[in-house]
Amino acid sequence: MILRKLYLRLIGDYPCARFVEAVTEYFEGTMPADERTRFERHVKRCASCRIYIEQLRQTIEESGRVTVADVESLPEQARNELLETFRTFHAER
């Protein structure tokens, strides 16, 4: 395991922690080309990050289908919990 980590550092693999931080840049197309190459190479080699990026793609696709009417039709408690989750998320950033 230690040798694998050292090997990955030597070949310039993209660390998973950086991957999670940079995925927004990747989706928005603002990532520099050389970093994008390393990012995509990492995705090909790392099953966990492939799953993560696919989950994000699905979330983006599904959230694009949510309308104001959908949110307004939620029961009041569910809507309040959803709004509180967003408030907490943004307050922590």
pLDDT of residue 30: 92
Break the chain into its structural domains and give their ranges. Answer: 2-68
Taking only the tens of pLDDT, the chain with its 93 residues reads: 554 554 444 445 677 777 777 888 888 899 999 889 988 988 888 888 889 899 988 988 888 887 888 878 889 998 888 888 878 876 765
Q: What is the pLDDT of residue 18?
A: 77
Judge if pTM exceeds 0.75: no
- Residue 69 CA, distance from chain mean position: 26
Contacts 24+ apart (CB under 8 A), 68-77: none
CB atoms within 10 A of CB 35: 14
